Structure 1
Amino acid sequence: MTAKTWADATEPSRVAWHVSTRSGSGGGDCVEAGPVLDGSRRVAVRDSKDRSGPVLGFSATSWTDFLTGLRSGTLTG
């Protein structure tokens, strides 16, 4: 699984951003993710508290692998 930081933020207005349902409303960990609207099937991820900050980009395959790892608990920090 490979994530890349997109220096140009992949033109954030071209991403269908969604706040994670796991993000709390208490101002803690807030993550937004969404598909890049260019037909590439890439997914962008950013910190919703810093919307002008860095954006991580995942290919469709890497995003699926990432979610599978999260759900199974096999990701380690």
Structure 2
Amino acid sequence: MSSYSPSGGKSCVEVGWHISSYSANGGGRCVEAGPLLDTPARVAVRDSTQRGLGFLTFPAAEWHAFLRAATSGAL
């Protein structure tokens, strides 16, 4: 349960965030992504400089297809 969860812990989304390896020192200027721990078929993505604004979610298969295309130079 997240430390941000209310006492019942039912209204908070849990994400295992991963900071991009391209992030500046300290990870302050980049994109973070991670699986939604209660819905692993979706991936959450956020701007690490604007964490308080929330995040977008994508189906995991689509996110991984995007990553493959980006790393292969197809985009």
Q: Output the TM-score relative to the length of structure 1.
A: 0.69
RMSD of aligned alpha carbons? 2.3
Q: What residue number does 1:60 align with?
A: 60
Structure number with the higher helix fraction is 2
Q: What residue number does 1:47 align with?
A: 47
What is the one-letter code of the residue matched to 1:50? Q
Q: What residue number does 1:71 align with?
A: 71
Q: Output the TM-score relative to the length of structure 2.
A: 0.70
For 1:26 and 1:19, locate their aligned partners in 2 and report how far apart those are by CA, in whole Å: 10
When Rg is computed on C-alpha atoms for both structures, the one with the higher figure is: 2
Question: Measured at CA, do residues 12 and 67 of structure 1 come closer, stay the same or move farther in structure 2, by a change above 3 Å?
Answer: farther
Q: What residue number does 1:21 align with?
A: 21
Count residues with an aligned counterpart. 65
Q: Higher relative CO (CA 8 A, sep ≥ 6), structure 1 or 2?
A: 1
**How much does 1:17 deviate?**
0.9
What is the one-letter code of the residue matched to 1:62? E
Unmatched runs of 5 consecutive residues or more in structure 1 = 1-10
What is the one-letter code of the residue matched to 1:31? V
What is the one-letter code of the residue matched to 2:35? P
Contact 2:28–2:49 (Cα < 8 Å) also in 1? no
> Identity across aligned pairs (percent)?
51
